[in-house]
Every structure is written in C-alpha cells, then in structure tokens.
C-alpha cells in the first residue's frame, strides 16, 4: 500500500515517530510516497529528519504555538490570534497538500498530529483513507487521566486533537502502557527507532536534558552555575544556535542531533526534560529515570507529566532542579523493564491494523463537545 505522511514540525517527537513508522513500512514492503512537514519560522528542521526520510519531503506553513517574550510559556490567546492572521498562508498550504495528494495518489494518508491534516481531510475529502497517530488520541480512552486545567487550556487541547482527526477512519493512540483498544481508538505501543533498540545503556556521570522551548535554557544555565558538581548536557532546536556551546565547565548546549542525543541518552544518569512523549519513551526503553517539566501553558504536556508518573517512569517538577532526580536515583533501585516487552509487540500490532484498511468515504460531523 502507498502511504503519505503529514507530520507536525513542533518539537522532535512527531518526526522521530514518522521515521520509525516509515522503517516499518519498508520492512513490510509498503511504500512511503511522500512526507509533508509543517514548518514555522521559530524552528529549524533537524538535519536527521531529511536524512532519515528517504521519500520526497514537502514543506508547508502550518499552525504553531506562540510563546512569551522569554520563549518559555505557551500563550493560547496569542497562538490563536497569530495563527488567524495567517489564514491566507494556511489556505495555500492546504492547496499544496491537495496537489501532492493528487500527484502521489496514496492509499492511506497518515497524520502525525498536524492540524492542517485534519482540516485538509475535512474540506477536500480525498479518496485516500485518512488515519491519525499520536499519544494525544489516548484522551478518547476511559482510563486516560486529565491533568488539572487552568482556564480554557483543556478545552483547546481537546478541540485541537479533534480537529487533527476530522474524518479519520482510524485513530492510533500511542501509550506508555498496554490498554484495551476501544471502538473509537486502537491503542498501540510507542514508536521507537531501531537505533534506540540497539543501544546498550551504561551509567555515566552526567544528566541529559532536552529543551523544546529555548527560553528554558536560562533556567538550566542558572542551575548548573549554582551546582558545579552536577554535569549537564542539554539539547535544543534553537534557531541560529551554534552546533555546540560550553557556557560552563559542567554544562554544554547542543543542537538537536539524533545520533548524538541517543548516544548520550544511553550513557546519562537520567533525563530531565520538558514533557514531550517521545523523549520519555526513549528513556523508559533504556531504563533511565526521568524528571519532566511541563511547558507552561501547554496542557498536553501537563497530561504527559501525569502519565509519566502513572507509568512509573519518573517524577515531575515545575523547574529544572536536577538535584530532585539525583535524589530519586540515589534512593531507588532498578526494576524490570516491561516497557521493552510492550514495544516488541509492534510487528504483530502492525499486521493487525493494516489489513483493516479499506478505501471508504468516512462519515463525520464538525461539531462535538470538548468540556
């Protein structure tokens, strides 16, 4: 079967998931005919993505979060206003997506949580079957635990998730742990690249951190300066940043690089990170303790943090206080890694979901309650 991916470009998680799924397609002798990546001026596209994705790569302007002046907190109101001013730009993106779909004629369009993917499917109604995949779709499971919400953050998270999946005939919900699938979603293991599975973890002398919003770099710098006995390696995708920076003897900043990041993941004492799903999964697979700091204003990450604790992967914090994780490491013994067994079920899971694909016209409505 012929697949076309639509991938959200905010952070690295959806991109690494797309790489992992594309490798499974190759193994199963299916074809990836193209990848449409949502881009923004805030972020550089990681080199590893264009290197690992062998299919044609198409870039389109896509809605993205807007941050405060310190590049830390997500501002929902500003995000909505900023994206509304780009309506004409996004309309051009939708037309470009449709041209690509007509040219490539995929059997299945698989959307990695990009808002334009759902809008496209709702308005253009392509012949291809439309699927979505992401941890976010676990909200449709009765056992999913929502984090406490401020204002309308929960509402907009649920609305955005719904919009990405307009008309989807299949919702693949990535989960830290096994759950029964439902009529609405198919629960599947996290998508990890083969490079992660080949790593042999060791216990190094440094903490690894991944910063999705560059403003948190100042917080990491401040902690490292006050705690020179703790070594920290930080990765970010800050645009125009140097490849490597050494602001302190015990702290280094690195541009996102897939191989270097995974190498350091295997060798670190533990991961301290904003609460992105993919990095947590990589740490869990390698048996590394985790401390997550949800990005302020991003309700999805608050839910990820709650799920991190529920899964037994680690702890949460409101700031980059690496000493909290150091204390956990010193007082906790290693346990059996059942997460690897869950990941290993992907080949059979893949065989189960693909035969169900049918070329059908999906039924859907554009109204739903999000409270």
What's the whole-number mean pLDDT along residues 214-239?
90
Burial grade of 83 (CB within 10 A; 0-12, 13-18, 19 or more): middle
Give a yes or no: residue 301 inside a domain: yes
Do 316 and 177 reside in the same domain of the chain? no
More confident residue, 152 or 164: 164
**Greatest C-alpha distance within the chain:** 60
Question: What are the angstrom distances between the C-alpha of 246 and each of 224, 235, 243?
Answer: 12, 12, 11
Do 174 and 304 reside in the same domain of the chain? no
Give a yes or no: residue 369 inside a domain: no
Give a yes or no: residue 6 inside a domain: yes
> Across 11-25, 32-46, 111-125, 320-334, which has the greatest mean pLDDT?
111-125
What integer pLDDT is reported at residue 205 of this predicted model? 94
Residue 13's pLDDT band (cuts 50, 70, 90): confident
What integer pLDDT is reported at residue 288 of this predicted model? 94
Give a yes or no: residue 362 inside a domain: no
Beta bridge partners of 344: none
Do 261 and 137 reside in the same domain of the chain? no
Q: Report yes or no: 291 and 324 within 8 Å, Cβ to Cβ.
A: yes
What integer pLDDT is reported at residue 75 of this predicted model? 72
Give a yes or no: residue 365 inside a domain: no
What integer pLDDT is reported at residue 281 of this predicted model? 94
CA distance 255 to 46: 9
What integer pLDDT is reported at residue 360 of this predicted model? 40
Label residue 134 left, alpha or beta by phi (over 0 means left) and psi (-120 to 50 means alpha): left
Question: What are the angstrom distances between the C-alpha of 230 and each of 45, 195, 225, 270?
Answer: 31, 28, 10, 12
pLDDT tens sequence across 33-54: 999 999 866 566 778 888 899 8
Do 123 and 226 reside in the same domain of the chain? no
Strands 244-248 and 251-255, bridge-based pairing: antiparallel
Number of domains in the chain: 2
SS3 32: strand
- Determine how many CB atoms are found less than 10 A away from the CB of residue 318: 9
pLDDT tens sequence across 130-150: 999 999 999 999 999 999 988
pLDDT tens sequence across 271-295: 999 888 998 999 999 999 999 999 8
| CATH value at residue 165 | 3.40.50.2000
Do 34 and 113 reside in the same domain of the chain? yes
Give a yes or no: residue 34 inside a domain: yes
- Mean residue pLDDT of the chain comes to 88
pLDDT tens sequence across 44-96: 677 888 889 989 999 999 887 777 666 666 777 887 888 788 899 999 999 99
Residue 270's pLDDT band (cuts 50, 70, 90): very high
- What's the predicted TM-score (pTM) here? 0.87
pLDDT tens sequence across 335-348: 667 899 999 999 89
Do 77 and 163 reside in the same domain of the chain? yes
Given a cut of 50, is residue 264 above it in pLDDT? yes
Range of the domain at 202: 194-342
Give a yes or no: residue 226 inside a domain: yes
Do 138 and 253 reside in the same domain of the chain? no
Q: Tokens representing 47?
A: 């080199």
Given a cut of 50, is residue 364 above it in pLDDT? no
Q: Report yes or no: 15 and 50 within 8 Å, Cβ to Cβ.
A: no
Which ranges in 151-271 belong to alpha helices (H)? Answer: 153-164, 194-198, 217-226, 258-267
What integer pLDDT is reported at residue 45 of this predicted model? 76
């Amino acid at each position: 079967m012929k697949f076309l991916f639509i991938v959200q470009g905010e952070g690295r998680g959806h991109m690494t998931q797309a790489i992992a799924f594309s490798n499974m397609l190759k193994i199963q002798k299916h074809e990836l005919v193209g990848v449409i990546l949502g881009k923004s001026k805030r972020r550089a596209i990681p080199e590893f993505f264009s290197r690992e994705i062998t299919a044609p790569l198409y870039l389109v302007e896509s809605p993205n979060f807007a941050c405060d002046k310190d590049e830390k907190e997500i501002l929902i109101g500003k995000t909505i206003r900023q994206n509304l001013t780009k309506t004409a730009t996004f309309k051009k993106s939708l037309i470009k997506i449709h041209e690509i779909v007509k040219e490539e004629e995929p059997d299945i369009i698989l959307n990695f949580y990009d808002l334009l993917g759902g809008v496209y499917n709702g308005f253009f109604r392509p012949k291809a079957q439309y699927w979505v995949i992401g941890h976010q779709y676990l909200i449709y499971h009765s056992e999913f635990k929502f984090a406490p919400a401020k204002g309308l953050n929960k509402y907009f998270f649920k609305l955005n998730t719904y919009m990405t999946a307009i008309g989807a005939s299949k919702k693949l919900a990535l989960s830290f742990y096994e759950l029964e699938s439902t009529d609405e979603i198919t629960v599947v293991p996290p998508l990890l690249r083969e490079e992660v599975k080949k790593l042999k973890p060791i216990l190094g002398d440094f903490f690894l951190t991944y910063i999705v919003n560059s403003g948190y770099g100042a917080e990491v710098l401040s902690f490292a300066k006050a705690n020179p006995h703790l070594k920290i390696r930080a990765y970010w995708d800050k645009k125009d940043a140097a490849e490597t920076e050494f602001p302190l003897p015990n702290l280094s900043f690195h541009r996102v690089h897939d191989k270097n990041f995974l190498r350091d993941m295997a060798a670190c004492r533990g991961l301290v990170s904003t609460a992105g799903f993919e990095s947590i999964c990589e740490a869990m697979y390698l048996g590394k303790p985790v401390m997550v700091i949800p990005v302020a204003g991003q309700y999805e990450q608050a839910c990820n943090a709650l799920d991190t604790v529920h899964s037994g992967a680690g702890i949460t914090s409101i700031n980059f206080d690496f000493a909290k994780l150091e204390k956990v490491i010193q007082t906790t013994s290693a346990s059996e890694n059942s997460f690897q067994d869950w990941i290993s079920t992907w080949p059979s899971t893949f065989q189960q979901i693909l035969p169900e694909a049918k070329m059908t016209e999906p039924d859907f409505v554009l109204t739903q309650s999000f409270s």
